[in-house]
Structure 1
Amino acid sequence: MAAVRKSTNWFAIGVTAAVLVVVLIVAGVVWFANSQATSPGTLPESSAVNTETGAIAVGSGDKTVDTYIDFMCPVCNQFEQAYGPTLDQLVASDEITLNIHPISILDRASQGTEYSTRSASAAYCVAVDDAANVPAFVKALYAQQPSENTAGLDDATLASVAASVGASDAATSCISDGTYTRFVTAMTQNTPVQPGSGGIATPTIAVNGTVLSNQTDLTGDPQKDIVDRLNG
Structure 2
Amino acid sequence: MPAHPLTRVLARVVTAASLVVVLGVGATACAPASPSAHPTSRELVGEEGGVSFDEGWIRMGTGPKIVDVYVDPMCPYCRMFEETAGGMLAAEAEAGRATVRIHPVAILNRLSRGTEYSSRAAAVLTAAAATTPSATADVIAALFRNQPAENTVGLTDDRLLDIVVEAGADPAVRDSDLASYRAWVDAQTATATRGPLPTTADVPSLQGVPLVLVNGDLFSGNGGQEGAFRQFYDAL
Q: Structure 1 residues 194, 118: CA separation in 2 closer, same or farther (over 3 Å shift)?
A: farther
2:69 maps to what in 1? 67
2:100 maps to what in 1? 98
1:22 maps to what in 2? none
SS in 2 for 1:180: helix
Q: Deviations over 1:143-175 (max 9, x none)?
A: 110000001110000110121022233201226
Q: Is the 8 A contact 2:109 2:118 kept in 1?
A: yes
1:80 maps to what in 2? 82
What does residue range 164-175 of structure 1 map to in structure 2 within 5 Å?
164-174=166-176
Q: Is the 8 A contact 1:218 1:225 kept in 2?
A: no
Q: Structure 1 residues 196, 159: CA separation in 2 closer, same or farther (over 3 Å shift)?
A: closer
Shift of the alpha carbon at 1:180? Answer: 0.8
2:53 maps to what in 1? 51
Matched, 1:185 2:186: yes
1:130 maps to what in 2? 132
2:231 maps to what in 1? 224
Shift of the alpha carbon at 1:43? Answer: 1.0
Q: Structure 1 residues 146, 73: CA separation in 2 closer, same or farther (over 3 Å shift)?
A: same
Q: Deviations over 1:4-63 (max 9, x none)?
A: xxxxxxxxxxxxxxxxxxxxxxxxxxxxxxxx89xx953164142222232111011011
- Across the aligned residues of Structure 1 and Structure 2, the Cα RMSD in angstroms comes to 2.7
2:43 maps to what in 1? 42
Identity in percent: 31
SS in 2 for 1:179: helix
SS in 1 for 2:48: coil
Q: Structure 1 residues 194, 140: CA separation in 2 closer, same or farther (over 3 Å shift)?
A: farther
User: So what's the TM-score if we normalise by structure 1?
Assistant: 0.73
Q: Is the 8 A contact 2:131 2:172 kept in 1?
A: yes
Q: Give the residue type in structure 1 aligned to 2:134.
A: A
2:118 maps to what in 1? 116
Matched, 1:200 2:207: yes
Structure 1: unaligned runs, 5 residues or longer: 1-35
Structure 2: unaligned runs, 5 residues or longer: 1-36
Question: Of the two structures, which has the highest relative contact order with CA contacts closer than 8 Å and spacing of 6 or more?
Answer: 2
Q: Structure 1 residues 90, 169: CA separation in 2 closer, same or farther (over 3 Å shift)?
A: closer
Separation (CA, whole Å) in 2 of partners of 1:197 and 1:57: 23
Larger radius of gyration: 1
SS in 1 for 2:235: helix
Q: Is the 8 A contact 1:219 1:225 kept in 2?
A: no
Q: Structure 1 residues 199, 66: CA separation in 2 closer, same or farther (over 3 Å shift)?
A: closer
Separation (CA, whole Å) in 2 of partners of 1:159 and 1:122: 7
Decide which moves more: 142-151 or 122-131: 122-131
Separation (CA, whole Å) in 1 of partners of 2:48 and 2:205: 33
Separation (CA, whole Å) in 1 of partners of 2:162 and 2:230: 35
Q: Structure 1 residues 154, 213: CA separation in 2 closer, same or farther (over 3 Å shift)?
A: same
Q: Give the residue type in structure 2 aligned to 1:167.
A: A
Q: Is the 8 A contact 1:126 1:167 kept in 2?
A: yes
Q: Is the 8 A contact 1:53 1:187 kept in 2?
A: no
Shift of the alpha carbon at 1:219? Answer: 6.1
Separation (CA, whole Å) in 2 of partners of 1:105 and 1:62: 30
Q: Greater helix percent: which structure?
A: 1
Decide which moves more: 86-95 or 75-84: 86-95
1:89 maps to what in 2? 91
Aligned length: 190
Q: Give the residue type in structure 1 aligned to 2:82.
A: E
